[in-house]
Chains A and B, each alone.
Chain A
Amino acid sequence: MRKEKNMVLRRRRIQDSRADKAFYAVNGVVMVLLFVLYAWPLWFVLIASVSDPNLVQAGEVLLWPKGFHLEGYKLIVEYKDILRGYFNSVVYTVAGTAINLVMTIFAAYPLSRKDFMPRKTLAALFIFTMYFSGGLIPTFLQVKNLGLYNTPWAMMIPCAVSIYNVLILRSFFMYGIPASLEEAAVLDGANTAQMLWHVMLPLVKPTLAVLVLYYAVGHWNDYFSALIYLKDKELMPLQTVLRDILIVGKIDMQTGGMEMEAIIQKMKQAQTLKYSVIVVSTVPLMLVYPFIQKHFVKGIMVGAVKG
Chain B
Amino acid sequence: MRKKEAKKKAGAVRDKRKDSFLQRLIKDLKTNHILYLMILPVLAYYVLFSYVPMTGIQLAFKNYRIKDGIWGSPWVGLAHFRRFFSSYNFSTLIWNTLAISVYCLIIGAVIPVLFSVLINYIRSSKWKKTLQMVTYLPYFISTVVLVGMLGIFLGDSGIINVFLEKLGLESIPFLSSGKLFRGVYAWSGAWQSLGYSSVIYIAALSGVDQQIHEAAIVDGASIWRRIWHIDLMELRPTMLVLLIMSLGSLINVGYEKVLLMQNSLNTSTSEILSTYIYKVGLINSDYGFSTAVGLFNSLVSMVLLLVANRVSKKLAGYSLW
> CB within 8 Å of B: which residues of A?
8-9, 12-13, 15-16, 19-20, 23-24, 27-28, 30-31, 34-35, 37-39, 41-42, 44-45, 48, 57-59, 103, 106-107, 109-111, 113, 115-117, 122, 125-126, 129, 131-143, 146, 157-158, 160-161, 191-193, 217, 220-221, 223-224, 228, 239, 242-243, 245-247, 274-275, 278, 281-282, 285-286, 289-290, 293, 296-297, 300-301, 304-305
The answer to whether A239 and B142 touch (CB under 8 A), given A133-B53, A138-B291, A289-B136, is: yes
How many chain B residues touch A (Cβ–Cβ < 8 Å)?
Answer: 87
The answer, among B34, B52, B127, for a CB contact under 8 Å with A191, is B34
Q: Are B35 and A217 in contact (CB under 8 A)?
A: no
Residues of B within 8 A of A109 (CB): 35, 38
Q: Are A135 and B149 in contact (CB under 8 A)?
A: no
Q: Is B138 an interface residue (CB 8 A)?
A: yes
Residues of B within 8 A of A44 (CB): 153, 159
Q: Are A12 and B218 in contact (CB under 8 A)?
A: yes
Q: Are A110 and B35 in contact (CB under 8 A)?
A: yes
Please report the C-alpha to C-alpha distance between residue A141 and residue B66 in the assembled complex, in whole angstroms.
10
Q: Are A113 and B32 in contact (CB under 8 A)?
A: yes
The answer to whether A113 and B35 touch (CB under 8 A), given A136-B281, A282-B142, is: yes
Q: Are B48 and A129 in contact (CB under 8 A)?
A: no
Q: Are B28 and A274 in contact (CB under 8 A)?
A: no
B148, closest chain A residue (CB): A246
Residues of A within 8 A of B104 (CB): none
Q: Are B122 and A31 in contact (CB under 8 A)?
A: yes
Please report the C-alpha to C-alpha distance between residue A136 and residue B153 in the assembled complex, in whole angstroms.
33
The answer, among B39, B203, B281, for a CB contact under 8 Å with A137, is B281
Q: Is B151 an interface residue (CB 8 A)?
A: yes
Q: Is B287 an interface residue (CB 8 A)?
A: yes
Q: Are A9 and B217 in contact (CB under 8 A)?
A: yes
The answer to whether A31 and B131 touch (CB under 8 A), given A137-B281, A301-B200, is: yes
Please report the C-alpha to C-alpha distance between residue A180 and residue B9 in the assembled complex, in whole angstroms.
34
Residues of B within 8 A of A116 (CB): 28, 32, 35
The answer to whether A59 and B159 touch (CB under 8 A), given A122-B39, A247-B147, is: yes
Residues of B within 8 A of A136 (CB): 277-278, 281-282, 290, 294
Residues of A within 8 A of B294 (CB): 135-137
Please report the C-alpha to C-alpha distance between residue A300 and residue B198 in the assembled complex, in whole angstroms.
10
